[in-house]
């Protein structure tokens, strides 16, 4: 089922982006009950999806105008930041645990970490999507290179590294097309909060991620779903260098898009990523979509630029990821 871009995006008065759930993606992931400390239940589910740039969409933005994680309202965003600060302070830090502020977190913040990666190949019964071990290894290499800051002299080493802990393969047409995704994730997920689970599927999106602050109430579905042919050598024009996984793992480590919040002062809660009014498409050098200081961070992995345009996280994002990992995944 293909979706059109029109009508899927609405901007709230607060500047938050709200996207309608895709009909292929039931909102069954939403589980508001349980953890009294959890965020208010989002009205549109625990995550949102990016559109895959298929033939009709290659010329548009990465994933079109949709989000690939659950939408977070401006109010929810403020509550997430406050909650993270409280958690970091309670962990025995020095009370400076302002997420992503670039000033460093509390003493409890562990910098980076070694992340075990479980790859679940959700192939079709005819073998479609049954990516090779070599391609999976190449994808893990891309994660390591991008998180080590190896693609630009302007890129920090986040100190996160990734080791392949296991690969399993399923041949199920429903799962291959991301059907019953909550069910298949709960059935196949491995490891704890610190384990990265990657499900390789064929769906209408490049990727979908869950956020770290949702792990406590919904750990069974925690991880990222990635279009299998976005892996290195996968064949999607402009999106097959493996950077989709880098982007989705950024969400999994607590980063928003660089265009989160648009031209607001807090925008993506990271101080060194200039505000951006909307997703970038392609690689338009010099783009400057907000009157706030700084050019749009079009080379940032958390924008929607082409894979070849991506080359960095910012130092503030690197700090935020360590803080989020310490708060919710360590």
Interface contacts to Zn ion, rule CB under 5 A: 68
**Minimal CB distance residue for Ca ion:** 273
Q: Which is nearer to Ca ion, 173 or 266 (CB)?
A: 266
Given the complex with Zn ion, which of 98 and 251 has the nearer CB atom?
251
Provide the token pair at 126: 């005819």
Nearest-approach distance from CB 68 to Zn ion, in angstroms: 4
State the catalytic residue, choosing from 47, 49, 248, 323: 248
Nearer to Ca ion, 48 or 273 (CB): 273
85 interface partner picked from Zn ion, Ca ion, none, CB below 5 to 8 A per type: none
For the stretch 163-174, what's the b/e string if a residue is b when 16 or more beta carbons lie within 10 angstroms of its beta carbon? ebeebeebbeee
Q: Identify the burial level of 225 via C-beta atoms within 10 angstroms of its C-beta, where 0-12 means exposed, 13-18 middle and 19 or more buried.
A: buried
- The binder of 68, among Zn ion, Ca ion, none, by C-beta within 5 to 8 A per type, is Zn ion
Closest CA to 293 of 260, 263, 324: 263
CB of residue 62 vs Zn ion: minimum separation in angstroms? 8
Q: How far is the CB of 164 from Ca ion (least distance, A)?
A: 32
Return the number of the residue (151 or 268) whose C-beta is nearest Ca ion.
268
Cα–Cα distance measured from residue 72 to residue 100, given in angstroms and rounded to the nearest whole number: 17
Minimal CA–CA distance to 130: which of 143, 141, 138, 119? 119
- Shortest Cβ distance from residue 39 to Zn ion (Å)? 19
Nearest Cα residue to 46 out of 200, 250, 173, 218 = 218
Q: Which does 214 bind (CB under 5 to 8 A by kind): Ca ion, Zn ion, none?
A: none
Q: Which is nearer to Zn ion, 136 or 206 (CB)?
A: 206
Contact 303, 280 (CB under 8 A): yes
Short-list 310, 271, 277, 312, CA closest to 296:
277
Q: Which does 139 bind (CB under 5 to 8 A by kind): Ca ion, Zn ion, none?
A: none
267 binds, among Ca ion, Zn ion, none (CB under 5 to 8 A by kind): Ca ion
Q: Of 226 and 270, which has the nearer Cβ to Ca ion? A: 270
Query: What is the DSSP-derived secondary structure letter of residue 219?
Result: G
Query: 208 contacts which partner out of Zn ion, Ca ion, none, CB within 5 to 8 A by kind?
Result: none
Could you tell me which of 273, 277, 299 has the C-alpha nearest to residue 286? Answer: 299
Strands of the sheet containing 207-209, edge to edge, are 160-171, 113-123, 196-201, 224-227, 207-209
Q: Which residue is nearest to Zn ion (CB)?
A: 68
3 state DSSP class of 88:
helix
- How far apart are the C-alpha atoms of 214 and 182, rounded to whole Å? 14
Q: How far is the CB of 247 from Zn ion (least distance, A)?
A: 5
Contact residues toward Ca ion (CB under 5 A) are 267-268, 270, 273
234 vs 52: CA distance, rounded Å: 13
CA dist 200 and 129 (Å) reads 8
Tell me how far, at minimum, the Cβ of 13 lies from Ca ion, in Å. 20
Does 285 qualify as catalytic in the annotation? no
Residues catalogued as catalytic: 248
């Amino acid at each position: 089922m293909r979706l059109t871009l029109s009508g899927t995006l609405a901007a709230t008065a607060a500047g938050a982006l709200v996207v309608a759930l895709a009909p292929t993606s039931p909102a069954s992931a939403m589980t508001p009950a349980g953890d009294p400390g959890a965020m208010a239940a989002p009205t549109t589910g625990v995550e949102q999806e990016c559109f895959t740039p298929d033939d009709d969409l290659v010329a548009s933005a990465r994933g079109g105008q949709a989000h690939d994680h659950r939408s977070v309202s401006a109010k929810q965003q403020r509550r997430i930041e406050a909650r993270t600060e409280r958690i970091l302070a309670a962990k025995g830090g020095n009370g400076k645990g302002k997420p992503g502020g670039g000033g460093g977190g509390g003493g409890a913040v562990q910098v980076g970490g070694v992340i075990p990666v479980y790859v679940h190949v959700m192939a079709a019964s005819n073998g479609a999507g049954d990516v090779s071990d070599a391609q999976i290894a190449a994808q893990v290499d891309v994660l390591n290179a991008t998180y080590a800051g190896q693609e630009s002299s302007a890129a920090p080493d986040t100190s996160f590294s990734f080791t392949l802990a296991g690969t399993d393969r399923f041949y199920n047409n429903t799962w291959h097309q991301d059907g019953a995704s909550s069910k298949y994730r709960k059935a196949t997920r491995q490891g704890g909060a610190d384990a990265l689970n990657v499900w390789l599927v064929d769906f209408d999106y490049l990727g979908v991620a869950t956020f770290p602050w949702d792990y406590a109430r919904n750990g069974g579905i925690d991880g990222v779903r990635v279009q299998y042919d976005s892996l290195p050598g996968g064949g999607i024009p402009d999106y097959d260098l493996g950077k989709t996984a880098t982007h989705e793992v950024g969400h999994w480590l607590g980063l928003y898009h660089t265009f989160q919040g648009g031209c607001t002062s807090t925008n993506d809660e990271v101080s060194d990523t200039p505000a951006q009014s909307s997703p970038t498409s392609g690689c338009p050098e010099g783009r400057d979509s907000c009157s706030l200081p700084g050019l749009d961070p079009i080379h940032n992995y958390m924008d929607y630029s082409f894979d070849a345009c991506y080359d960095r996280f910012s130092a503030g994002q690197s700090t935020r990821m360590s803080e989020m990992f310490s708060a919710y995944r360590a």
